Chains A and B, each alone.
Chain A
Amino acid sequence: MRCDEVQSLHDPYLDSELDARTALEIERHLKACPECARLFAEEQELEARLKAGLNHGTRTAELWEQIEGEVIHPKPEILPQGRTKQAQSTKAQMTKTPLSGGVFRALSHLVFGFVSGLGFRISDLDATRSRFRSDAPAWAGLAAVWVVILALDLTARGPETRVMREREVPSASEMRFAWKQKQLLMADLAFLFEPAPADKPAPPAPQSNRHTDNLNT
Chain B
Amino acid sequence: MSETGISDADRFLALLKPIERDLETYCRRLIWEPQEAPDALQNAVMRAFAAFNRYHEGASFRAWMFKILTHEAFALNRKHARIARHEFQLEPEELARLPYMGEPERDSSQPLSPETLNGVLEPALAAGLKTLTDTERAVLLLRAIGDLRYREIGESLAIPLGSVMGNLSRARQKMRAYITRAERRTQLLKENGI
Interface residues of chain A, those whose CB is within 8 Å of chain B, are 11-12, 15, 17, 46-47, 49-51, 53-60, 63-64, 66-68, 70-72, 74, 77-78
Q: Determine the chain B residues whose CB is within 8 A of the CB of A59 once the complex forms.
A: 20-21, 24
Does B172 interact with chain A (Cβ within 8 Å)?
yes
Q: At the interface, is chain A mostly helix, strand, loop or mixed?
A: helix
A46 touching B12, Cβ below 8 Å: no
Q: Which of B25-52 contact A (CB under 8 A)?
A: 25, 28-29, 38, 41-43, 45-46, 49-50
- Contacts known (A53-B125, A54-B141, A55-B144); A68 close to B13, Cβ less than 8 A: yes
B62 at the binding interface (Cβ < 8 Å):
no
Q: Does B145 contact A (CB under 8 A)?
A: yes
A12 touches which one: B29, B41, B150 (CB < 8 A)? B150
Shortest distance between the CB of B111 and any CB in chain A (Å): 21
Chain B, 63-77, CB within 8 A of any chain A CB: none
Q: B57-108: which have CB < 8 Å to A?
A: none
Q: Verify A54–B145 contact, CB threshold 8 A.
A: yes
**Min C-beta distance of A84 to chain B, whole Å:** 12
Interface residues on B, range: 35 or more
Is the Cβ of A50 less than 8 Å from the Cβ of B144?
A: yes
- Please list the residues of chain B having a beta carbon within 8 angstroms of any beta carbon in chain A: 9, 12-13, 16, 20-22, 24-25, 28-29, 38, 41-43, 45-46, 49-50, 118, 121-122, 125, 140-141, 143-145, 149-150, 165, 168-169, 172, 175-176, 179-180
A-B CB contact pairs (8 Å), 28 listed: A11-B165, A12-B150, A12-B165, A15-B150, A17-B149, A17-B150, A46-B176, A47-B176, A50-B179, A53-B118, A53-B122, A54-B25, A54-B140, A54-B141, A54-B145, A55-B22, A55-B25, A58-B24, A59-B21, A59-B24, A60-B38, A67-B41, A67-B45, A70-B42, A70-B45, A71-B9, A74-B46, A74-B49
- In the complex, the answer to whether B29 meets A54 with C-beta atoms within 8 Å is yes
Tell whether, in the assembled complex, residue B118 and residue A11 are in contact, meaning their CB atoms are under 8 Å apart.
no
- Report how far A66 CA is from B42 CA in the complex, Å: 9
Q: Give the shortest distance, in Å, between A60 (CB) and chain B (any CB).
A: 6
User: Are B179 and A46 within 8 A (Cβ)?
Assistant: yes
A112 to B125, CA, bound (A): 78
B192 to chain A, nearest CB (A): 23
Decide: A50 and B175 in contact? CB cutoff 8 A. yes
A50 to B175 alpha-carbon distance, docked (Å): 8
| Complex: A47 Cα to B172 Cα, angstroms | 8
Question: A12 CA to B125 CA in the complex, in Å?
Answer: 22
By beta carbon, the residue of chain B nearest A66 is B42
Given A71-B9, A71-B45, check contact A15 B143 (CB 8 Å).
yes
CA distance A17 to B24 in the complex (A): 26
CA–CA, A63 to B16, complex, Å?
Answer: 14
Contacts A11-B172, A17-B150 given: A55-B122 contact, CB under 8 Å? no
- From B175, which residue of chain A is reached at the shortest CB distance? A50
- Which chain A residues lie closer than 8 Å to B13 at the CB level? 68, 71-72
Known contacts A53-B125, A55-B145; 12 further A-B pairs (Cβ under 8 A): A17-B150, A49-B121, A54-B141, A56-B122, A58-B24, A60-B24, A60-B38, A63-B41, A70-B42, A71-B9, A72-B13, A77-B50
